[in-house]
């Protein structure tokens, strides 16, 4: 009967707890940052430094997506976190640790939820008849009580659920479902590339000089089922570049608004981060002042106590100086603020997301985080016989982009000069030597396959590898032709006109010339008409540009336009002190540089 009564009493007590918990009135132990007020309600801790420290943990997880990285960043900045020793109400400040950060991120109380029955105690007898007690954590949908918006929170419930999913993916991704925290390696598609043959996620490996060239291999079938060979494999860098081209194409319309918004929010983010360091300084000063008061209050004769308090005071002052130094360091990291004019220019000019992605200050971890925010996964099916791979990018949200990826041919390599540059060299080699071609390519900012600027030997090497013939000077000189095509230097000697004048005529449209490519040399066709219009003496009655504009009552530019259209006749005097353009304002005839002829 006693055992039965104890069972009934325990059952009634448990039912009472569950009844009170179902109404959210059961008083439970609260984590640091939450306290009970005088009425027994759950409220945020009144200590501003405690609230700021907990908010910093969540905000840094939003940036880094890894509990371990949050811990490392807090340690690097010398920021302490609040902890409450078990069974006490006292708060202590300690360096960040992984268990502490994990507790902050996984406790639903910080999301404003009242939870009861997250764990279940299971008892069983083992083979030897010994009682084995095991506590098992239940999934969220099996919790006994879950009351949302029970009290004020540090994060929303939706964000809390997303954090749990990210932590789960970082800890141990389900087999064949990818995931995992971003690593330091150079494989951009780590955890995001799926085998199109078996459906499993592909693993990442590295090879090449320095071991930094990624390769993706699907080896699950061999590892799990002992098959003779891997499912498929594909080189990483070339595939990643193609995926990046698609990513940048998708980001281009949104990059303007995203960059402008990020710049406007950078200062606010800095102020929020700075507030945490300011509160740490305030707390350190309070602790130092309290230690000073305790030291001053002790009797000088009581040396045993005085020495102990003196050590505590020195430690508090050291902590204060370190906190002030950390605050000064953070203030120096304030981002540059753009004016309204600069922000407006940025919205008009555009944002180069590609330059930010490829910047040396951007880490591989940050690059992967950007890709993961956009790309859900990349499905690849390698067709070895055709030396091709069918790839599909699955974007966040469900949209898909498919393309055919060309694999390297036998003897091919990744670091190759792009075909557009090769085709340009092919056209330039018909007219110019290697030195001139190198100058043109460098002026256009083109690079070799290894990222080097073009020089004469590198142009020659490229021509030889691609079977492009070298420039061969013509068998006859330009003077043998009725209308030779000369370079600026040759035209300057042939016509006796300064090259500055020739360039000015080309800019004003008064002289027809051609360039094989932007940045290449100009070529001018020397006709008999052009030679006749370049004279040594000024014809009688012909005026200079300023005088002609004044006589005609128009601007200098209008006179030039009339000459260009052939409405005014003009010659160029190339000798004497009266060199320059001379215009016949009395008689309109066919112009020297008529573009319609």
* pLDDT confidence of residue 54: 92
pLDDT above 60 (res 591):
no
Candidates 516, 465, 464, 513; CA nearest to 485 is 513
Under the banding of pLDDT at 50, 70 and 90, the label for residue 592 is very low
The percent helix, strand, coil of the chain (3-state, each to 5) is 45, 15, 35
Map residue 508 onto helix, strand or coil.
helix
Q: Average of pLDDT values for 427-447?
A: 86
Least confidently predicted of 73-77, 118-122, 390-394, 590-594? 590-594
Higher pLDDT, 211 or 177: 211
pLDDT above 90 (res 105):
yes
Q: CB neighbours of 561 closer than 8 A, spacing ≥ 6?
A: none
How far from 195 is each of 202, 206, 231, 234, 373, CA to CA, in Å? 6, 18, 8, 10, 21
Please check whether residue 417 is in contact with residue 448, taking contact to mean a CB–CB distance below 8 angstroms: yes
Under the banding of pLDDT at 50, 70 and 90, the label for residue 513 is confident
The percentage of the chain sitting over the pLDDT mark of 90, rounded to a whole number, equals: 7
Give phi and psi for 318, each to the nearest 5: -65, -40
Residue 326: CB atoms within 10 A of its CB come to 18
pLDDT above 70 (res 164):
yes
Q: Average of pLDDT values for 123-145?
A: 86
- pLDDT tens readout for residues 217-246: 887 666 655 566 778 888 888 888 888 888
Higher pLDDT, 174 or 357: 357
pLDDT above 50 (res 86):
yes
Candidates 463, 459, 469, 592; CA nearest to 532 is 592
d(CA 7, CA 26): 22
Q: Which of 20-29, 147-156, 482-491 has the highest mean pLDDT?
A: 147-156
Please check whether residue 417 is in contact with residue 449, taking contact to mean a CB–CB distance below 8 angstroms: yes
Under the banding of pLDDT at 50, 70 and 90, the label for residue 119 is confident
Candidates 81, 549, 505, 419; CA nearest to 280 is 81
Under the banding of pLDDT at 50, 70 and 90, the label for residue 107 is very high
Under the banding of pLDDT at 50, 70 and 90, the label for residue 594 is very low
pLDDT above 90 (res 422):
no
d(CA 143, CA 21): 12
pLDDT above 50 (res 177):
no
- pLDDT tens readout for residues 313-338: 888 888 888 888 788 777 766 665 65
Average pLDDT for the chain: 78
Least confidently predicted of 8-22, 167-181, 419-433? 167-181
Q: Average of pLDDT values for 152-156?
A: 91
* pLDDT confidence of residue 110: 94
Please check whether residue 588 is in contact with residue 569, taking contact to mean a CB–CB distance below 8 angstroms: yes
Please check whether residue 241 is in contact with residue 247, taking contact to mean a CB–CB distance below 8 angstroms: no
Under the banding of pLDDT at 50, 70 and 90, the label for residue 481 is low
Give the E-state strand segments of 9-164 in sequence order.
34-36, 42-44, 80-83, 92-95, 114-116, 119-125, 131-137, 145-147
* pLDDT confidence of residue 65: 81
Under the banding of pLDDT at 50, 70 and 90, the label for residue 414 is low
Map residue 88 onto helix, strand or coil.
coil
- pLDDT tens readout for residues 288-300: 888 888 877 877 7
Map residue 580 onto helix, strand or coil.
strand
Rg (C-alpha) for the chain, rounded Å, is 39
Q: In the block, which residue shows the tokens 């799926």? A: 194
Please check whether residue 578 is in contact with residue 538, taking contact to mean a CB–CB distance below 8 angstroms: yes
Under the banding of pLDDT at 50, 70 and 90, the label for residue 106 is very high
Q: CB neighbours of 485 closer than 8 A, spacing ≥ 6?
A: 478, 523, 524, 525, 526
543: DSSP letter: B
* pLDDT confidence of residue 156: 92
Please check whether residue 199 is in contact with residue 377, taking contact to mean a CB–CB distance below 8 angstroms: no
Chain-centroid distance of CA 16 in Å reads 55
Query: Dihedral (C-alpha) 423, 425, 428, 433: value to the nearest 10 degrees?
Result: -160
Map residue 271 onto helix, strand or coil.
helix
Q: CB neighbours of 38 closer than 8 A, spacing ≥ 6?
A: none
pLDDT above 70 (res 166):
yes
Helix (H) or strand (E) holding 326: helix 303-332
567: DSSP letter: S
Q: Which residues of 488-518 are buried (b: 16+ CB within 10 A; e: fewer)?
A: eeebbebbebeeebbeebbeeebbebeebee
pLDDT above 80 (res 468):
yes
pLDDT above 70 (res 589):
no
Residue 290: CB atoms within 10 A of its CB come to 13
120: DSSP letter: E
Alpha helix ranges (H) inside 203-235: 220-225
Per-residue tokens: 184: 């330091």
Candidates 549, 591, 552; CA nearest to 568 is 591
Higher pLDDT, 219 or 414: 219
pLDDT above 80 (res 205):
yes
Please check whether residue 438 is in contact with residue 455, taking contact to mean a CB–CB distance below 8 angstroms: yes
pLDDT above 80 (res 595):
no
pLDDT above 70 (res 180):
no
d(CA 237, CA 407): 11
State the sign of the Cα–Cα–Cα–Cα dihedral 10, 11, 15, 21: positive
Please check whether residue 250 is in contact with residue 376, taking contact to mean a CB–CB distance below 8 angstroms: no
* pLDDT confidence of residue 210: 67
Q: Which residues pair with 205 in a beta bridge?
A: 215
Task: Tally the residues of the chain.
Answer: 597
- pLDDT tens readout for residues 547-579: 888 888 888 888 877 877 777 877 777 665 667
How many Cα neighbours within 13 Å face the side chain of 455?
3
Q: Which residues of 444-461 are buried (b: 16+ CB within 10 A; e: fewer)?
A: eebebeeeeebbeebbbe
Q: In the block, which residue shows the tokens 């006490």? A: 88
- pLDDT tens readout for residues 337-355: 656 665 565 555 445 677 7
Q: Average of pLDDT values for 198-218?
A: 80
Higher pLDDT, 536 or 515: 515
pLDDT above 50 (res 584):
yes
pLDDT above 50 (res 135):
yes
Give phi and psi for 480, each to the nearest 5: -75, -10
Map residue 67 onto helix, strand or coil.
helix
* pLDDT confidence of residue 337: 60
* pLDDT confidence of residue 354: 75
* pLDDT confidence of residue 258: 58
Under the banding of pLDDT at 50, 70 and 90, the label for residue 83 is very high
* pLDDT confidence of residue 347: 54
Alpha helix ranges (H) inside 25-97: 48-64, 67-76
Please check whether residue 533 is in contact with residue 591, taking contact to mean a CB–CB distance below 8 angstroms: no
Please check whether residue 562 is in contact with residue 551, taking contact to mean a CB–CB distance below 8 angstroms: no
Higher pLDDT, 103 or 295: 103
Under the banding of pLDDT at 50, 70 and 90, the label for residue 590 is very low
Give phi and psi for 589, each to the nearest 5: -150, -170
Q: Average of pLDDT values for 262-278?
A: 72
Q: Average of pLDDT values for 80-97?
A: 87
Under the banding of pLDDT at 50, 70 and 90, the label for residue 384 is confident
């Amino acid at each position: 009967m006693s055992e039965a009564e104890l069972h009934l009493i325990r059952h009634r007590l448990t039912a009472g707890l569950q009844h009170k918990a179902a109404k959210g009135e059961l008083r439970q132990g609260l984590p640091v940052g939450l306290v009970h007020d005088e009425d027994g309600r759950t409220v945020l801790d009144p200590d501003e430094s405690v609230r700021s420290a907990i908010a910093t943990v969540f905000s840094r997880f939003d940036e880094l997506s890894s509990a371990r990285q949050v811990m490392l960043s807090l340690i690097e900045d010398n920021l302490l976190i609040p902890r409450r020793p078990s069974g006490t109400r006292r708060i202590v400040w300690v360096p960040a640790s992984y268990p502490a950060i994990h507790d902050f991120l996984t406790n639903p109380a910080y999301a404003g939820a009242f939870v009861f029955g997250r764990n279940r105690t299971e008892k069983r007898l083992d083979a030897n008849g010994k009682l084995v007690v095991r506590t098992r954590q239940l999934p969220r949908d099996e919790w006994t009580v879950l009351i949302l918006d029970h009290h004020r929170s540090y994060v929303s419930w939706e964000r809390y659920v997303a954090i749990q999913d990210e932590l789960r993916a970082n800890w141990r991704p389900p087999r064949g479902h990818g995931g995992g925290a971003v690593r330091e390696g150079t494989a951009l598609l780590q955890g995001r590339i799926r085998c199109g043959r078996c459906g499993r996620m592909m693993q990442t490996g590295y090879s090449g000089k320095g071991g930094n060239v990624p390769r993706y291999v699907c080896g699950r079938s061999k590892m799990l089922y002992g098959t003779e060979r891997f499912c498929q494999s594909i080189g990483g860098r070339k595939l990643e570049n193609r995926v990046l081209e698609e990513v940048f194409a998708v980001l281009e319309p949104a990059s303007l608004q995203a960059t402008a918004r990020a710049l406007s929010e950078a200062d606010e983010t800095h102020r929020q981060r700075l507030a945490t360091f300011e509160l740490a300084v305030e707390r350190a000063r309070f602790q130092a002042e309290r230690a000073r008061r305790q030291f001053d209050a002790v009797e000088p004769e009581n040396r045993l106590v005085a020495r102990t308090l003196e050590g505590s005071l020195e430690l508090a002052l050291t902590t204060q100086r370190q906190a002030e130094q950390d605050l000064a360091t953070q203030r120096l990291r304030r981002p540059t603020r753009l004016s309204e004019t600069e922000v407006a220019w940025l919205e008009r000019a555009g944002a180069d997301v590609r330059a930010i992605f490829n910047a040396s200050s951007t880490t591989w971890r940050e690059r992967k985080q950007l890709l993961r925010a956009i790309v859900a996964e990349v499905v690849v099916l390698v067709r070895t016989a055709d030396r091709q791979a069918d790839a599909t990018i699955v974007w966040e949200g469900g949209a898909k982009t498919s393309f055919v990826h060309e694999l390297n041919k036998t003897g091919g390599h990744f670091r190759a000069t792009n075909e557009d540059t090769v085709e340009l060299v092919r056209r330039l080699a018909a007219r110019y030597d290697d030195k001139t071609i190198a100058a043109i390519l460098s002026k256009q900012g083109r690079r070799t396959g290894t990222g080097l600027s073009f020089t004469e030997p590198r142009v020659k090497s490229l021509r030889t590898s691609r079977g492009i013939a070298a420039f061969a000077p013509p068998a006859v000189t330009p003077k043998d032709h009725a209308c030779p095509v000369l370079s600026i230097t040759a035209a300057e000697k042939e016509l006796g006109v300064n090259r500055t004048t020739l360039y000015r005529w080309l800019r004003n449209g008064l002289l027809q010339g051609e360039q094989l490519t932007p940045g290449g040399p100009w070529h001018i066709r020397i006709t008999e008409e052009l030679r006749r219009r370049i004279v040594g003496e000024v014809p009688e009655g012909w005026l200079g540009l300023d005088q002609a504009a004044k006589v005609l009552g128009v601007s200098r530019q209008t006179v030039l336009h009339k000459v260009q259209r052939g409405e005014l006749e003009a010659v160029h005097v190339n000798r004497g002190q009266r060199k320059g353009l001379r215009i016949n304002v009395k008689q309109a005839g066919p112009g020297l540089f008529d573009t319609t002829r």
